Amino acid sequence: MEEKKFRNKVGWFQFLCCAMVIWSHAGNAELFLGKAGKNHWLSRLEYVHFPAVMGVSIPCFFMISGYLFFRFFAFDQLTEKWKRRVQTLLIPYLCWNLLYYVGYLAGSRIPAVADIVNRPDLQFSLKEMLEALFFYDYNPVFWFMYQLILLVALAPVIFRCMRSVRGGVGFLFLVMAGIFFHLSFPRLGAASSLNLDALFYYGLGAFGALHGRTCIEGAWTKRRCLIGVILVWAGIRAGVPYHTRAFIPGIIVEYSMAVSGLWLLVNENWLPIERPWMRQTFFVYALHFIPVRFLNKVAAMIFYGNQWMAATLYVLMPVMAMGICYVAAWILHRITPKVWRWLSGGR
């Protein structure tokens, strides 16, 4: 596969995963229907059936991130890669967390906004600000960024474990065993610890980059497509009982098979050229929660009890939220390019 086509394919996967993340956060049955919506068909659709499908987005993000970090990796590149991740991950992570904290602090004092942000009258404190800054207390969607930062910090350990095929397989097996036996890393003070499922997905991507580039970056063929279909089908078939029983190791295997199968199945030659606005997935990921909650809460105030309005809004939410985020990105880029670089990670 040509480098240009590989990058275009990665871009499309990231864009579609971003849309699925928005769908995962777009549930509105409880806002429109109240307690009556608990067992409503819309609630089951938004909180049971769709999340089982959309849940593939985060594993896909982790696997792609692990693959891209360790693609062409050599140990003497580590410092340079860390420096780039400071710009693309750490600085935006801190900036957005601070922005959300300040936004909630201000919003809680404005009567018209207080009901939407759903926070009591917040009082500023240095301790709470630092916890918000480092541990995403007011920016819950950034749990993913927090995990990714920890994984990047552990890159030397992951690389040493993954240098050989046998070592990589053993590493992934040990991580999966830890998940099976409900083990976990110690908590980092007030922060959550590194999630073993995130480590597994990221490690699987790293393993592919170090030992499977020929297969992963091979040109599309009918044979690859057939293998992809089998992997997706097997993942779905196995995943139904795993989701029913909430068997986490099985769900992780299901998502891993689904992501791998979809990658093999999709023909890179059929994908249109990625448009520039489609590359702003990080900015959309960081900002989307605000328009999603705002649109849902305002619409629920106006159309309370209307199940069809709730369902329509849910279906259209990725398009609406992305549109708002792209307009915000365009304005920010034109007015304050420096702030834009901080918030977008220079993307």
pLDDT reported for residue 127: 84
Q: What integer pLDDT is reported at residue 120 of this predicted model? A: 62
Block residue for tokens 């057939």: 226
Confidence of residue 252 (pLDDT cuts 50, 70, 90): very high
Q: Residue 190: what pLDDT?
A: 57
Task: Provide the pLDDT confidence category of residue 192 given band limits of 50, 70 and 90.
Answer: confident
pLDDT at 115: 66
Least confident of 84-93, 245-254, 282-291: 245-254
**Which pLDDT belongs to residue 119?**
65
The mean-pLDDT minimum among 4-18, 38-52, 182-196, 225-239 falls in 182-196
Model confidence over 118-176: pLDDT tens digits?
666 677 888 888 888 898 888 889 999 999 999 999 999 999 999 999 999 999 999 99
Is the model's pLDDT at 111 over the cut of 70?
Answer: no
CA distance 43 to 342: 38
Is the pLDDT assigned to residue 245 strictly greater than 90?
A: no
Instruction: List Cα–Cα distances, 344 to 119, 280, 293, 309, 330, in angstroms.
Output: 27, 8, 21, 33, 12
Residue 105: closest CA among 85, 125, 78:
125
- pLDDT bin (cut points 50, 70, 90) of residue 114 is low
Structure tokens at 64: 């792609």
- What mean pLDDT do residues 266-270 have? 95
Using alpha carbons only, how large is the chain's radius of gyration in Å? 21
* Total residue length of the chain: 347
Q: Where are the domains of the chain?
A: 3-220+266-344, 221-265
CB 118 within 8 A of CB 127: no
Report the pLDDT value the prediction gives residue 322, as an integer from 0 to 100: 95
What pLDDT sits at residue 128? Answer: 84
CA–CA dist 144, 207 (Å, integer): 20
Reported confidence tier of residue 78, pLDDT bands at 50, 70, 90:
very high
- Can you tell me the distance from the alpha carbon of 144 to that of 150, in angstroms, rounded to the nearest whole number? 10
